[in-house]
Structure 1
Amino acid sequence: MTSPSTIEQTADAVRRALASYPPFRHAAAETAVKTSADRIELYGFVRSEAIANSALALARATAGNVAVTSKLIVDNVLEMEASQRLAADSRTAAFPLRVNAYLGRITIVGVLPAAARKTALDIVQGIPGCGPWRRRKCL
């Protein structure tokens, strides 16, 4: 088992590696490298799955024998999830809506009556990564 101080030192090395990797630095927001008793976890928002996968690969290569997992949230996944939820809900399904995400912030484009706007907000905020714990709202 790896000692807590070794995990913290390794996490610092991962932070430095990610900070010096231009694609991650330019396509990520509100990111964090956190530690638990036996692993390192990546958190935050990224533009694409390719960036998330590259960041995870870089972190794992830097971490050596310390386990690294990713909890990075990807914009296109957020867009798909929001679109599917809005289309599946009978209160918003009838309205033509376009969903955009940029570094974790979701924007819904379309015309909605006031009641449907509140419903759409509730639906989107129910998506993991868009809850009330976020510093930035998802709409």
Structure 2
Amino acid sequence: MREDYRHWQRIPTRWADNDVYGHVNNVVHYAFMDTVINTWLITVAGLDIHDGLAIGLCVESHCDYRASIAFPEAVDAGLRVGKLGRSSVRYEVGFYPEHRDAVVAEGHFVHVFVDRATREPVEIPAGLRTAMEGLVVA
């Protein structure tokens, strides 16, 4: 349900997102997840993608499809944190067509934070962790 998500971003679909079957292709949902997560990390949580010492690498992703959407519909992407560990976080995303309350897809991404140079796991930086705690759901 929409109220289960803590952060929202509207993402427009593009003409090129539709496949030959007339709906947004399944791979596009993964790009939408990547977009809402990284937009939030950069604009809200303060992730420095160019010079920060820690970066998040995707180690797992998944999406369940419930219904289709098609261009020119926009999608409201709801974001929450389902699990917050020492060096990893599981982001959960729900996709809702604008102006509708029925979810069309739900997915998750798991990021492990690593040292930019060594690629060894590190603790999630304090500022990012604090922001992530605001997205945690019970």
Work out whether the TM-score is over 0.5.
no
More strand by share: 2
More helix by share: 1
TM-score of the two chains, using structure 2 as the length reference = 0.28
TM-score of the two chains, using structure 1 as the length reference = 0.28
Which structure is richer in relative contact order (CA contacts within 8 A, separation 6 or more)? 2
- Greater radius of gyration (CA): 1
